[in-house]
Amino acid sequence: MRSLIKPIAISIILTGLFVNLHNAFFLIDYRAKENIEKIDVVINSGDTGLEISRKLFEQGVVKTSKAFYRVALNEKRSAGISPGVHNLDRKISAHAALDQLLDKSRNRGILGFAEGLRAYEIVGILDKSNLLEGKASGLILPNKKYGTTNIEGFLFPAQYAFAPQTTVDEAISQMIERFEISATNSKLSEGYGDYSAYQTLIIASIAQAEGDKQDYAKIARVIYNRLKIDMPLQMNTTVEYAAKLRGQIRMSYKQLEINSKYNTYLNRGLPPSPIGSPGEDAMRAAVNPENGDWLYFITVKPQDTRFTNSFSQFNIWANEFRANEKAGLFK
């Protein structure tokens, strides 16, 4: 009998240890189970694992933030969590919470806004969205320091996960708040040289509309160079804005004669407002223009924009552009 006592004792000790560990684990996590109580959890673009863990804990999805954070760290698939409004069960295990966050059928989705969109386009999307309530009142205004009541340029282009029952006005306020973050990060809020923050925003919006990311800083420099010598900007995108057009490879002489303060062929200086919502890259370019004496630029073919201070060189490239257009390179 003595020979059996030791193994049995060890077995009892190990069993007790397992029970203690098992119970300790469930002090920080719920057991996996079906739960009919649900809640909407907003996951924003850029939320960290810690932020997501805290949201799940605070809204009663997981028992502790630590439980989910451990799972998120140990499972590579957690990198696939998408922004949006996720409809999750409450009081579930951390593993179940991760499963549900990755379940696309539980994600109400997000509203995404491309860089360069105009205010009326953005507000139109918000007004029509079934994720938001109400309509835009027109009462939400930019920060007073910009000296305007026009929201053009202030609705920051990004992906947004608006909480349930968010109104359109509240969404607009959030977009303006997000603009303020990027304006501060890029230092656009400080202006550039003798140009106010609002004027710099206008320049950023033109750079955004006129070119690709790699060219923003050069386009900004062309704008500053022309303004310095009181040369008309002659930017097609400002005329497109006035005419509510987009993507015109070339514009007719009749279109270029449109009677509008946004027609930078007929009016010197900057247009009266931004012509769209610039992203942070265009904002940075407006306050960090590349050094150069350029006065002209032209996109000869997709991804090939050239800059010069010579009008004759510009005309040579313009002929190359016309040949490429005829060859169908811009389709």
Determine phi and psi for 148, rounding to 5 degrees.
-145, 155
> Radius of gyration of the chain from Cα atoms?
28
pLDDT band, residue 44 (cuts 50/70/90): confident
- pTM listed for this prediction: 0.79
* Whole-angstrom distance, CA of residue 9 vs CA of residue 145: 77
Kindly state whether residue 207 falls inside one of the protein's structural domains: yes
In a domain, 20, yes or no: no
HEC readout, the chain: CHHHHHHHHHHHHHHHHHHHHHHHHHHHCCCCCCCCCEEEEEECCCCCHHHHHHHHHHCCCCCCHHHHHHHHHHCHHHHHCCCEEEEEECCCCHHHHHHHHCCHHHECCCEECCCCCCHHHHHHHHHHCCCCECCCCCCCCCCHHHCCCCCCCCCCCCEECCCCCCEHHHHHHHHHHHHHHHHHHHCHHHCECCECHHHHHHHHHHHHHHCCHHHHHHHHHHHHHHHHCCCCCCCHHHHHHHHCCCCCCCCCCCHHHCCCCCCCCCCCCCCCCCCCCCCHHHHHHHHCCCCCCCCEEEEEECCEEEEECCHHHHHHHHHHHHHHHHCCCCC
Are 214 and 302 found together in one domain? yes
**pLDDT tens sequence across 108-156:** 878 999 999 999 999 999 999 988 999 999 999 999 999 999 999 999 9
In-domain check, residue 19: no
In a domain, 99, yes or no: yes
Q: How many domains does the chain have?
A: 3
Mean pLDDT score across all residues of the chain:
90
Domain with 68 in it: what CATH number? Answer: 3.30.1490.480
Does the residue 288 lie in any domain? yes
Tell me which residue range forms the domain holding 259.
193-326
Look at residues 186, 203, 237 and tell me which one is the last residue of a structural domain.
186
Outline where DSSP puts E strands in the chain: 38-43, 84-89, 111-112, 159-160, 296-301, 304-308
Residues 151 and 219 in one domain: no
Task: Give the CB-side neighbour count of residue 100, counting CA atoms within 13 A.
Answer: 28
Both 128 and 155 in one domain: the answer is yes
Question: Are residues 237 and 263 both part of a single domain?
Answer: yes
Q: Specify whether 117 is located in the same domain as 96.
A: no
CA-based nearest residue to 197, from 208, 182, 212, 210:
182
* Domain-ending residue, one of 75, 106, 137: 106
Q: Are residues 219 and 277 in the same domain?
A: yes
- pLDDT for 264 equals 98
Do 93 and 134 lie in one domain? The reply is: no
Do 102 and 116 reside in the same domain of the chain?
Answer: no
Residue 13 has what pLDDT? 42
Q: Give the end of a domain, one of 151, 166, 186.
A: 186
Least confident piece of the model among 7-16, 75-84, 194-203? 7-16
pLDDT in tens, 147-163: 999 999 999 999 898 88
- Residue 123 and residue 90 share a domain: no
* Residue 243 is assigned to a structural domain of this protein: yes
pLDDT at 23 over 70: no
Residue 2 belongs to a domain: no
pLDDT band for position 27 (50/70/90)? low
235 with 148, same domain: the answer is no
Is residue 91 domain-shared with residue 134, that is, in the same domain?
A: no
pLDDT at res. 32: 59
Confidence of residue 46 (pLDDT cuts 50, 70, 90): confident
* Residue 283 within a domain: yes
For residues 67 and 126, state if they share a domain.
Answer: no
